[in-house]
Structure 1
Amino acid sequence: MIRRPVAGVIRRGAVVGAATGLLVGAGASADAASDSALSDPVVSGVTVNSGHDVIVGITHNVSFPVTVTGSDDSGLLAADVDLKGPHGGFYTTDAMCESGTACTMVFTVNAHPAPGSDDPVDLANANAGTWSVDTLVDANDGDSVYAPNVGTFALKRAAQLTVNAAPEPVAKGAWITVTGKLVRANWDTYRYAGYAGRAVKLQFRPKDSSTYTTVATVTTSNTGTLSTKVNAVRDGYWRWNFAGSATTGPAKAAGDYVDVRP
């Protein structure tokens, strides 16, 4: 079941971090008041996508888990979770807790058209970046607690890289030209487009090694293209490696093998 909680509404419980007052009536003890306050459920944290960025392309739905952890003397029952991103990005869902201390739900996002859907979910480029997590947790005894901004995560546009090293084969000591292109998902047009002005590492792995070493760093052109010349010393693989940005995921090209002849 999907619900959309009204902002600011708190059900039967406390707001995490809010100052609270307790009126003790005639005959009530301070100890009893303290015990009552301790009975409110507590939200201790949230984990999104097992701690990894959520990276979305232009053709497939991406599903990821969100786990809220906490405690209550009666055990946790259920949780509502809202994900809020830049420029009005918003997802919400709820789930019953799988234990008295953890509640896991799965979100599905996409950046491609969903014609015919009753509730299409469609990301825009402006939604990429840091998202925050709000949660409302219910305990088995009827108490609830609202925890705003209990965590953050990154929702990013997918990136892709190509590479070509030429000529091949090549004589030892000669120059080769390594080209490529960095593109990223455009969630507004449902296509991949060149990513301009990005620093990308050129890396080399000798034929008899499993380790790549950075040889140079090149900035992409205004269309995302890359090009540089390197000296051919020995047989091996050349690739481009992009570390990612605040809005875009990382990408590595598959190594292009160059045969260097004496």
Structure 2
Amino acid sequence: MRLRALFRTGLAAAAAVAGLAAAALVAPNAQAATGNLQITRVVVNGGQDIVLGTAAKGVTVTATISEDSALKDVWMDLEQHNGDDLRFFVHSLATCSGSGTVKTCSHTFTFDPRTDAIYNTLAGRNGWSAYVQVRSQDGDYMSDDFPSVGLRRQTALTMDAGPEPVRKGTTLTASGRLSAANWDTNTWTPLAGQYVQLQYCAYPCTGYTTVRTVTTNSSGYLKAAVTASADGYWRWYYPATSWAQPRVSNADFIDVR
């Protein structure tokens, strides 16, 4: 049997509550289905990775269900596993609509690193899944796990290029800083050792090209020196890894004389 907690917060809250079994839902034995009920589609966060900063964010799970009778209840989970270790989950009853054979059920979970058991180790795509359990009024039942999007730490990236204006053929210096939401401390902290691309778009700008790739230092700073050739826009682009949000900095226009 599967146990599903009846409170919103993650495993830290569960561990703090004496007698976990008393605060849990005991589901029927998991099975493919009984009757003609089917869960045909499950979408987490519109199909896009969840990007989370240091404040609360809503994450919606939507399930499309085929069933010829009314639904009795629909439970939804979002979970993150590391092997057999369940490191995080949220759980709730869903709200459903539709009077025909096709029903749409959804619930918006609140992810809040200030109060929930959300830590940097949860970032990434590995181990995330959605669990949906459905019972209908005519006794049909289905429960299953479904693929989920990942969770990414929100990032920030600055750009400053100079001098302004700059003489043609002389050195132009671009600098910036890369930082990310740190869920362990609920602060913004620098990202070290990350590859960031310096990109340029000649005026009038129709598309950026990568001029150089640099690595952030231990304090998240980055710097590159290039030769000024023509008026144009300069920016940084961070393609990111699976645990961080890709980020484009502000564009800085440089007048070359």
TM-score range, shorter chain: 0.7 to 0.9
* Aligned length, in residue pairs: 229
Amino acid at match of 1:95: A
Match of 1:95 in 2: 94
Q: Does 1:187 align with 2:183?
A: yes
For residue 245 of structure 1, the aligned residue among 226, 229, 241 is 241
Q: CA deviation at 1:257?
A: 1.3
Q: What are the Cα deviations for residues 192-249 of structure 1, in whole angstroms up to 9, with x where unaligned?
A: 1111121111111222124222111112112221111111111111110112211111
- Corresponding residue of 1:67: 62
Alignment match of 2:6 (pick from 3, 7, 18): 3
CA distance in 2, matches of 1:219, 1:16: 49
Cross-structure match for 1:137: 134
Query: How far, CA to CA, are the matches of 1:78 and 1:211 in structure 2?
Result: 51
Q: TM-score, normalised by structure 1?
A: 0.80
The residue identity in structure 2 corresponding to 1:226 is L
Q: Report whether the alignment pairs 1:128 with 2:123.
A: yes
Structure 1's unaligned 5+ residue stretches are 18-36, 113-119
Q: Secondary structure at the match of 1:171?
A: coil
Aligned-residue offset at 1:121:
2.3
Worse-matched range after superposition: 72-81 or 154-163: 72-81
CA offset at residue 61 of structure 1? Answer: 1.3
TM-score, normalised by the number of residues in structure 2: 0.81
Aligned 1:1-262 pairs, distance under 5 A: 3=6, 6=24, 9-10=27-28, 15-16=31-32, 39-58=35-54, 60-74=55-69, 76-86=71-81, 88-99=87-98, 100-112=102-114, 120-130=115-125, 131-148=128-145, 150-261=146-257
1:50 partner SS: helix
Alignment identity in percent? 34
Report the AA paired with residue 120 of structure 2. Answer: N
- 2:18 is aligned to none
Cα distance, 1:68 vs structure 2: 1.1
Q: Which protein is bigger by CA-based radius of gyration?
A: 1
* Moved >6 Å (runs of 4+): none
CA distance in 2, matches of 1:200, 1:215: 11
Assess if the C-alpha contact under 8 Å between 1:180 and 1:226 holds in 2.
yes
Q: RMSD over aligned Cα, in angstroms?
A: 2.2
